[in-house]
Amino acid sequence: MSATSVDHLSCVVYNSSYEPLSVIRSREAVVHLYEGKATVIEEHPSLVFRSAKLSIPAPTQIVLKEYKRSRPAFRAAAQLTQRNLFVRDKYTCAYCNKSRSNLGHKEFLTRDHIVPLSRGGLDIWTNVVTACNKCNNKKADLMLSECKMVLLRQPKIPSVFELWSKSSKSIKHLPHMSEVC
Ligand SMILES: [Zn+2]
């Protein structure tokens, strides 16, 4: 793999209590290891950091040796993006419960505003749900009571950790903190 891949690799930092704290660059994690502040939980199977004298497997999960008392960034509310919205809703329509894998030809997932923007609704976590384009078109600019549609789940504000847990834990899908908070 190229040097670029290892440079963009993320690493999850766990507190000494094994509570997830943050996601940092794998390169920064190497510094924590080198300084003796953390130990490795998991390494990338093939990516390696190389210097003239050293060859270190790229860490993907590390745990701090001493408990850190700062507020874990993972508990913070996640940023509302299209991808984070779909992850929160497990890529499933909030009205017909159709999942991404069951979408038909010319069907796709969208962001639906429960109280439409045109009716004063806000673009916030508690007013948006994942909806297939058919349900979104059907709902259009109507309130739920007007279109007789029912929400299958009440939308909530997800934490960074919740989204991280729901998203694939494979390394390439790990959200970096810049994306999720
Ligand atoms: Zn639908």
Same-domain check for residues 17 and 46: yes
Q: What is the CA(120)–ligand 1 centre distance, in A? A: 23
CA terminus-to-terminus distance, the chain: 29
pTM to 2 decimals? Answer: 0.64
Q: How far is the CA of 113 from the centre of ligand 1 (A)?
A: 13
CA of 112 to the centre of ligand 1 (A): 10
CA of 137 to the centre of ligand 1 (A): 9
Q: pLDDT band at 161, cuts 50/70/90?
A: confident
103 lies in the same domain as 133 = yes
Highest mean pLDDT among 50-59, 104-113, 154-163: 104-113
Q: Looking at the 3D structure of the chain, how many domains does it have?
A: 2
Check whether residue 70 and residue 18 sit in a common domain. yes
Residue 74 CA to ligand 1 center (angstroms) comes to: 31
- 124 and 166 fall within a common domain: no
Q: Is 177 exposed, middle or buried (0-12, 13-18, 19+ CB in 10 A)?
A: middle
Over residues 21-46, the mean pLDDT reads 92
DSSP 155: -
What's the 79 CA to ligand 1 centre distance in angstroms? 24
Separation of 93 CA from ligand 1 center, angstroms? 5
Identify whether 165 is part of a domain. Answer: yes
Predicted confidence at residue 71, as pLDDT, reads 67
C-beta separation of 58 from 9 below 8 A: yes
Say if 55 falls within a structural domain. Answer: yes
Residue 155 belongs to some domain of the structure: no
Torsion (CA) 137, 140, 145, 151 in degrees, nearest 10: 50
Residue 93, in any domain of the structure = yes
Distance from Cα 95 to the centre of ligand 1, integer Å: 5
The residue that leads in pLDDT, 114 or 51, is: 114
**CA angle at residue 86 from 85 to 92, to 5 degrees?**
130
Q: Residue 46: helix, strand or coil by DSSP?
A: strand
Backbone angles phi, psi at 85, to 5 degrees: -60, -45
Instruction: For residues 110 and 169, state if they share a domain.
Output: no
CATH number of the structural domain spanning residue 131: 1.10.30.50
Residue 17 structural domain: 3-74+161-180
Ligand 1 centroid, distance to 140 Cα (angstroms): 13
56-101 pLDDT per residue, tens: 899 999 999 999 886 667 778 899 999 999 999 999 999 999 999 9
What is the model's pLDDT at position 2? 44
Q: For residue range 127-137, what is the model confidence (pLDDT) as tens digits?
A: 999 999 999 99
Residue 154 lies in a domain: no
Residue 178: pLDDT over 60 = no
Question: CB neighbours of 121 closer than 8 A, spacing ≥ 6?
Answer: 113, 114, 115, 127
Note whether 20 and 52 are same-domain residues. yes
Protein residues within 5 Å, CB atom, of ion ligand 1: 93, 95-96, 132, 135
